[in-house]
Structure 1
Amino acid sequence: MPHLQQLSGMLGVFISVALILGTANAASLGAVYTEGGMVQGEKYSVGLFHYMDVFKGIPFAAAPDRLEKPVPHPGWDGVLKATDYRKRCMQLNLLATDVVGSEDCLYLNIWVPQGSTVSSNLPVRCSSMVVASCLVVVRVQNFLNNYLYDGQEIADRGNVIVVTFNYRYLNDDLSMSCSIGNYGLWDQHAAISWVHRNIRAFGGNPDNITIFGESAGGASVNFQILSPKNMGLIRRAISQSGVALCPWAVNRNPRQYAEEIARKVGCPTDSGMVACLRRTDPKTVTLAGSVNFSASASHPIVHNLALSPVIDGDFLPGEPETLFGNAADIDYIAGVNDMDGHIFATIDIPSLNNALVSTPVEDVRALSIALSESRGPDAGVATYEEYTVNWGSKPSDTDVKKTIVDMETDYIFLVPTQATLYLHSDHAKSGRTYSYLFSEPSRMPIFPLWMGADHADDLQFVFGKPFSTPLGYFPRHRDVAKYMISYWTNFAQTGDPSKGESSVPVSWPEFASSGHQYLDINNKMNSDSVKEMLRTRLVYYWTTLILNIYSK
Structure 2
Amino acid sequence: MEPLRILLAVGLLLGSTSAATLGVVQTEGGSVKGTNVRLGLLRSVDVFRGIPYAAKPGTLEKPTLHPGWTGTLKATKFAKRCLQKSMLQTSTFGGEDCLHLNIWVPHGLYVSYNLPVMVWFYGGGFMVGGSMGPNYLNNYLYSGQEIADRGDVIVVSVGYRVGTLGFLSSGDSQLPGNYGLWDQHAAIAWVHRNIRSFGGDPDNITLFGESAGGASVSYQTLSPYNKGLFKRAISQSGVAMCPWAISRNPRKITEEVAVKVGCPTDDKMVACLKSVSAKKLVMASPLITQGSPDKPAVNTLVMSPVVDGDFIPEDPVRLFHNAADIDYLAGVNNMDGHLFTSKDIPSIGKKEDISVDDVRMLLRTYTKGKGQAGLDAAFAEYTSQWGPNPSQDQMKITAVDIGTDYMFLVPTQMAINLHAAVAKSGRTYSYLLSEPSLLIGPGRPFHSWVGADHADDLQYVFGKPFTTPKAYGDAQKDLSGFLISFWTNFARTGDPNVGKSKVPVTWPRFTSTDQKYLEINSKMDRTYVGQKMRTRFVHFWTDTLPSLPSPAKY
User: What TM-score do the two structures reach when normalised by structure 2?
Assistant: 0.92
Cα distance in 2 for residues equivalent to 1:335 and 1:159: 24
Task: Identify which range, 224-233 or 23-32, moves more after superposition.
Answer: 23-32
Q: How does 1:358-437 map to 2 (within 5 A)?
A: 358-437=353-432
1:102 match: 95
- The amino acid that maps onto 2:85 is L
Deviation at 1:129, TM superposition (A): 3.2
Q: 1:165 aligns with which of 139, 158, 165?
A: 158
Q: Are 1:231 and 2:227 counterparts?
A: yes
Task: Identify which range, 387-396 or 539-548, moves more after superposition.
Answer: 539-548
Q: 1:272 aligns with which of 250, 259, 268?
A: 268
Alignment check: 8 A CA contact 1:131 1:237 kept: no
Q: 1:38 aligns with which of 31, 39, 47?
A: 31
After superposition, the C-alpha distances for 1:221-253 in whole angstroms (9 at most, x for unaligned) are 000000000000010000000000111111011
Change in Cα spacing, 1:71 to 1:200, as seen in structure 2 (3 Å) is same
Cα distance in 1 for residues equivalent to 2:134 and 2:546: 41
After superposition, the C-alpha distances for 1:450-500 in whole angstroms (9 at most, x for unaligned) are 111110000000000000011111111100100000000000000000000
2:319 match: 323
Deviation at 1:25, TM superposition (A): 11
Change in Cα spacing, 1:297 to 1:50, as seen in structure 2 (3 Å) is same
Q: Which runs of 5+ in 1 are unaligned?
A: 1-22
Deviation at 1:24, TM superposition (A): 12
Corresponding residue pairs, total: 522
Q: How does 1:240-251 map to 2 (within 5 A)?
A: 240-251=236-247
Cα distance in 2 for residues equivalent to 1:435 and 1:134: 20
Q: How does 1:475-494 map to 2 (within 5 A)?
A: 475-494=474-493
Deviation at 1:274, TM superposition (A): 1.6
Change in Cα spacing, 1:275 to 1:193, as seen in structure 2 (3 Å) is same
Alignment check: 8 A CA contact 1:172 1:310 kept: no
Q: 2:172 aligns with which of 164, 167, 178?
A: 178
Q: Is the partner of 2:130 in helix, strand or coil?
A: coil
- The amino acid that maps onto 2:286 is S
Cα distance in 2 for residues equivalent to 1:299 and 1:90: 28
After superposition, the C-alpha distances for 1:261-290 in whole angstroms (9 at most, x for unaligned) are 111111111122122222222222111103
Alignment check: 8 A CA contact 1:131 1:238 kept: no
Q: 1:138 aligns with which of 122, 127, 130?
A: 130
2:498 match: 499
Deviation at 1:303, TM superposition (A): 2.4
Alignment check: 8 A CA contact 1:129 1:236 kept: no
Alignment check: 8 A CA contact 1:199 1:206 kept: yes
Alignment check: 8 A CA contact 2:17 2:108 kept: no
Task: Identify which range, 444-453 or 401-410, moves more after superposition.
Answer: 444-453
Cα distance in 1 for residues equivalent to 2:520 and 2:415: 20
1:19 match: none
- The amino acid that maps onto 2:426 is G
Q: 1:64 aligns with which of 57, 69, 74?
A: 57
Q: How does 1:102-121 map to 2 (within 5 A)?
A: 102-120=95-113
Deviation at 1:134, TM superposition (A): 2.1
Cα distance in 2 for residues equivalent to 1:169 and 1:183: 9
- The amino acid that maps onto 2:391 is S
Deviation at 1:307, TM superposition (A): 0.6
Cα distance in 2 for residues equivalent to 1:127 and 1:150: 17
Deviation at 1:141, TM superposition (A): 1.9
Task: Identify which range, 237-246 or 302-311, moves more after superposition.
Answer: 302-311
Q: Are 1:293 and 2:289 counterparts?
A: yes
- Higher RCO (C-alpha under 8 Å, 6+ residues apart): 1
After superposition, the C-alpha distances for 1:66-94 in whole angstroms (9 at most, x for unaligned) are 00000000000010000000100001111
- The amino acid that maps onto 1:41 is G
Task: Identify which range, 276-285 or 27-36, moves more after superposition.
Answer: 276-285
1:154 match: 147
Q: 1:75 aligns with which of 48, 62, 68?
A: 68
1:304 match: 300
1:526 match: 525
1:191 match: 187
Alignment check: 8 A CA contact 1:106 1:166 kept: yes
Cα distance in 1 for residues equivalent to 2:94 and 2:244: 24
1:4 match: none
Alignment check: 8 A CA contact 1:70 1:190 kept: yes
1:460 match: 459
Cα distance in 2 for residues equivalent to 1:344 and 1:207: 38
Alignment check: 8 A CA contact 2:118 2:156 kept: no
Deviation at 1:130, TM superposition (A): 2.9
Deviation at 1:325, TM superposition (A): 0.2
1:15 match: none
After superposition, the C-alpha distances for 1:322-378 in whole angstroms (9 at most, x for unaligned) are 0000000000001000000111101211000122x2011111111111110111211
Alignment check: 8 A CA contact 2:286 2:300 kept: no
Q: 1:90 aligns with which of 83, 87, 93?
A: 83
Q: 2:208 aligns with which of 203, 209, 212?
A: 212
Superposition RMSD in Å: 1.7
Q: Is the partner of 2:245 in helix, strand or coil?
A: coil
Deviation at 1:420, TM superposition (A): 0.6
Alignment check: 8 A CA contact 2:237 2:336 kept: yes
Deviation at 1:144, TM superposition (A): 4.2
Q: Is the partner of 1:206 in helix, strand or coil?
A: strand
Q: Is the partner of 1:520 in helix, strand or coil?
A: strand
Alignment check: 8 A CA contact 2:92 2:283 kept: yes
- The amino acid that maps onto 1:428 is A
Cα distance in 2 for residues equivalent to 1:226 and 1:316: 7
Q: Is the partner of 2:203 in helix, strand or coil?
A: coil
2:8 match: none
Q: 2:253 aligns with which of 245, 252, 257?
A: 257
Cα distance in 2 for residues equivalent to 1:291 and 1:204: 41
1:16 match: none
- The amino acid that maps onto 1:255 is R
1:6 match: none
Deviation at 1:172, TM superposition (A): 3.8
Cα distance in 1 for residues equivalent to 2:285 and 2:137: 31
Alignment check: 8 A CA contact 2:167 2:180 kept: no
Larger radius of gyration: 2
Deviation at 1:514, TM superposition (A): 5.1
Cα distance in 1 for residues equivalent to 2:497 and 2:306: 36
Cα distance in 1 for residues equivalent to 2:400 and 2:171: 37
Identity of aligned residues (%): 56
Deviation at 1:116, TM superposition (A): 1.5
Deviation at 1:294, TM superposition (A): 4.5
User: What TM-score do the two structures reach when normalised by structure 1?
Assistant: 0.92
Cα distance in 2 for residues equivalent to 1:237 and 1:539: 23
